[in-house]
Amino acid sequence: MPFGPVALFGSGETSRAGRQVHERLFQRLPQPVRVAILETPAGFQPNAGLVAAKIRDFLVEHLQNYHPVVRFVPARRRDGVYNPDAPLVVEPIDWADYLFAGPGSPTYMIRCLTGTQTLARLRERWAAGATLAFASAAAIAVGRYALPVYEIYKVGADLYWADGLDMLGALGLRLAIMPHWNNREGGAELDTSHCFMGVERFRYLRRMLPPDTVILGIDEQTACIIDPQNEQVTVHGLGQVTLLTQAGERTIPHGRAFPLAWLRADPVLP
Task: Give this prediction's pTM.
Answer: 0.96
pLDDT of residue 2: 87
Q: SS3 string of 245-257?
A: ECCEEEEEECCCE
pLDDT tens sequence across 56-80: 999 999 999 999 999 999 999 999 8
Amino acid (1-letter code) at residue 197: M
CA distance 244 to 83: 37
Q: SS3 string of the chain?
A: CCCCCEEEECCCCCCHHHHHHHHHHHCCCCCCCEEEEECHHHCCCCCHHHHHHHHHHHHHHHCHHHCCEEEEECCCCCCHHHCCCCHHHHHHHHHCCEEEECCCCHHHHHHHHCCCHHHHHHHHHHHCCCEEEEECHHHHHCCCEECCHHHHHHCCCCCCCEECCCHHHHHCECEEEECCCCCCCCCCCCCCHHHHCHHHHHHHHHHHCCCCCEEEEECCCEEEEEECCCCEEEEEECCEEEEEECCEEEEEECCCEEEHHHHECCCCCC
Average pLDDT of the segment spanning 174-192: 96
8 A C-beta contact, residue 252 and residue 216: no
Edge-to-edge strand list for the sheet holding 240-245: 162-163, 145-146, 175-178, 214-218, 240-245, 248-253
Task: Give me the residue spans of the domains in the chain.
Answer: 6-263
**Which of these CATH numbers, 3.20.20.450, 2.30.29.30, 3.30.1330.10, 3.40.50.880, describes 6-263?**
3.40.50.880
pLDDT of residue 247: 82
147 pLDDT above the threshold of 80: yes
> How would residue 246 be classed by pLDDT, with cut points 50, 70 and 90?
confident
Average pLDDT of the segment spanning 155-168: 97
pLDDT tens sequence across 24-52: 999 999 999 999 999 999 999 999 999 99
> How would residue 94 be classed by pLDDT, with cut points 50, 70 and 90?
very high
Residue whose C-alpha is closest to residue 218's, from 199, 185, 244: 244
CA distance 227 to 133: 12
List 257's β-bridge partners, or say none: 234
List 165's β-bridge partners, or say none: none
